[in-house]
Structure 1
């Protein structure tokens, strides 16, 4: 029995990056031998075991063969005869197909170290094209390592293009796709993930609503970058620069989908794109079964982001309706994330990345003023039921009028 560290642990150590997850492969062992030594079996698809003391995962060396569609369409074979090289060749990228023993002796049959040094993301074998999930994985790795200068090898991008055109991407489950998408969006350069998907034709398959934004112009006075797709990528990049959570990044990706529906004869204006985009945002949310908080914020940002930009001009009654829509009294964090998404939208414009966004503090102040209205005095005056609701609304409107006068003069 020989045990090796494989995959990301080896890759990141060689890159000088922190090693978080450690995957181990066991060569020359049987399931019975692992059980005898106290390892606990997990996973129904192939033999993976938990170490009896550390709880870390150890997988028997295995080969795989395509047997159906999609990510799960594989038959695995594990036995003591499977070599380390045979196990490594089924992996996606050469930089993930290296192994090392406890003395850090490197096994690198597919030249992963060479590709690390050349900053290339390259597939290990033609079997890469059998697994559609690898399109998303490679795009995610491109987003993760782009700051280090990594790019996708042309021949790998070509295989990704073939996968995108094959219909295999449609076989991916929403859960598997969302796992890769959400992880990619939380990288330091999430816009690279979208760029790579677009370059290989996968964006058109997975998110045609986002793909449709590229080539759609916007008024240059408001958007010096002009192209709506380029703007969306910039907004996403700003969300990463400002360390925004997943909810905000997802909303930033989807906020302008309605502009993809504007007839060409109306370009570069996009009248009512906020409302038109809601059905598209809802469709993308449902396609990937995004978590509820991501779904809700994306829809709210899509509908109200121009309200955010025009916050200083809004009438107190419109401002109150905005606050009510977000339920700022019970869910203040969601409104804070809306403000963040609006600010990222404003900064995601060419040359305006450092521009101040006074609307943010103004909206926070408005929410605070509305929340400051006390209910108890109204109860003491005898208001109840619908009348109480109307009385609270009147007092909040009065508070917002006073706030606007004091804040803006």
Structure 2
């Protein structure tokens, strides 16, 4: 039985980047032998085990054979006769198909003992993302992984032959068979990379974006009003917004809201939505479809809905009086969910600064709206409700009384509009 460190930990060490989780492959062992040594089996589809002390993952060397379309359409063969090179051959990219004997990986990576049958070190030096073998085509999730790595390694390019292979896979319908959980997992991880726009640009280049997110793909070529969008093209603007979210170190919920805030501007086919409804209504319906298709978590969906519906009003909030500001806060549910409202404002700042020549502009709307929220929150609602009830008011009338006090508080706290 021989154990090797494989994959991302070696790749990142060679690049001088912070270390990835360490993954191990075991050659010449059976599942029974692993359990006898105290390893905990966790793999549902293939034999993966957790180390009894470190809890790191150890997988038995395996090969795979395509047996059906999609991510789960594989027959797995894991046995003591599977070699390390056979296991490395089934991996996605050459830069992830480098191994090191466990006894040479105790601390720093011992480059003199690297096992690199597919020339991953060469591709690291050349800054290339290249598939290992033609077996790449058997797993469509790898298209998403390549796109995610392009978003992480911003100075790497995808090898032309790998791009050609991905286009063939899309044309063959492999992407259609992807399961929602894996798509969302990869999209979410890609959104959190250093330059998330590269993920979506690469997916668009290979044709996968039109399959996975047609609502997004349609935004390229849609003109924007030049007075507000020097970049003109909606798709280009959206990519700039995403990268601004990364620059501002926004959390995943904000980045997802940035991704989908302008879906309604696309050329929506009449059979999907009537053309006479406004782009905000179209955007809300398209956003709901995207979230249902890929099972986006509820809290991300709710923030995205607020941003898609209200970002225009938030941008124009400097023109609003105290009454309109309180109504905006109410529509955003800012009194019950102030943290989510702050995230909405961050998404709107990304939208405002994700434009050519405006990347370093200030966004005073954020500070003004937070001040308005603070002033409105300072109003003690219980005494107002009690007094209104004593005066015979009920239901909506109590809400109106509270709103009037909030408006007064906001008007007193904020400087008059210019």
TM-score after normalising by structure 2: 0.92
Which one of the candidate residues 340, 345, 348 is aligned to 2:351?
345
Spell out structure 1 runs of 4+ moving beyond 6 A: none
Q: After superposing the two structures, state which structure 1 stretch, 351-360 or 387-396, moved more.
A: 387-396
**CA displacement 1:265-311 (0-9 Å, x = unmatched):** xxxxx994223311111111111111111101111111110001100
Q: Residues 145-164 of structure 1: matches in 2 within 5 Å? A: 145-146=153-154, 149-164=155-170
Which one of the candidate residues 170, 181, 186 is aligned to 1:175?
181
Q: Residues 177-256 of structure 1: matches in 2 within 5 Å? A: 177-256=183-262
Distance apart, 1:213 and its partner CA: 0.6
Distance apart, 1:56 and its partner CA: 1.7
Equivalence for 2:322: 316
**CA displacement 1:173-232 (0-9 Å, x = unmatched):** 111100000000000100110110011011111111111010111121111110110000
Q: Distance in 1 between matches of 2:161 and 2:213?
A: 24
Q: Distance in 1 between matches of 2:247 and 2:263?
A: 22
What SS does structure 2 have at the residue aligned with 1:3?
strand
Residues 318 and 142 of structure 1, relative CA distance in 2, 3 Å threshold? same
Q: After superposing the two structures, state which structure 1 stretch, 129-138 or 168-177, moved more.
A: 168-177
Equivalence for 1:266: none
Q: Distance in 2 between matches of 1:230 and 1:67?
A: 39
What SS does structure 1 have at the residue aligned with 2:137?
helix
Distance apart, 1:142 and its partner CA: 0.5
Equivalence for 1:111: 119
Unaligned runs of 5+ in 2: 105-109, 270-275
What SS does structure 2 have at the residue aligned with 1:19?
coil
**CA displacement 1:89-129 (0-9 Å, x = unmatched):** 00000001110012231110011010000000000011101
Corresponding residue pairs, total = 400
Distance apart, 1:345 and its partner CA: 0.5
Residues 4 and 158 of structure 1, relative CA distance in 2, 3 Å threshold? same
Equivalence for 1:267: none
TM-score after normalising by structure 1: 0.94
Is contact 2:148–2:186 with CA below 8 Å preserved after alignment? yes
Q: After superposing the two structures, state which structure 1 stretch, 251-260 or 230-239, moved more.
A: 251-260
Q: After superposing the two structures, state which structure 1 stretch, 37-46 or 136-145, moved more.
A: 37-46
What SS does structure 2 have at the residue aligned with 1:381?
helix
Equivalence for 1:392: 402
Match status 1:131 vs 2:139 = yes
Equivalence for 2:97: 97
Q: After superposing the two structures, state which structure 1 stretch, 282-291 or 237-246, moved more.
A: 282-291
Q: Distance in 2 between matches of 1:364 and 1:85?
A: 58
Q: Distance in 1 between matches of 2:411 and 2:384?
A: 19
Residues 22 and 174 of structure 1, relative CA distance in 2, 3 Å threshold? same
Is contact 1:262–1:273 with CA below 8 Å preserved after alignment? no
Equivalence for 2:87: 87
Is contact 1:95–1:121 with CA below 8 Å preserved after alignment? yes
**CA displacement 1:365-400 (0-9 Å, x = unmatched):** 111121111123324425264132221122122223
Equivalence for 2:273: none
Distance apart, 1:31 and its partner CA: 1.9
Distance apart, 1:407 and its partner CA: 4.6
Equivalence for 2:377: 371
Q: After superposing the two structures, state which structure 1 stretch, 135-144 or 395-404, moved more.
A: 395-404
Distance apart, 1:316 and its partner CA: 2.9
RMSD of aligned C-alpha atoms? 1.7
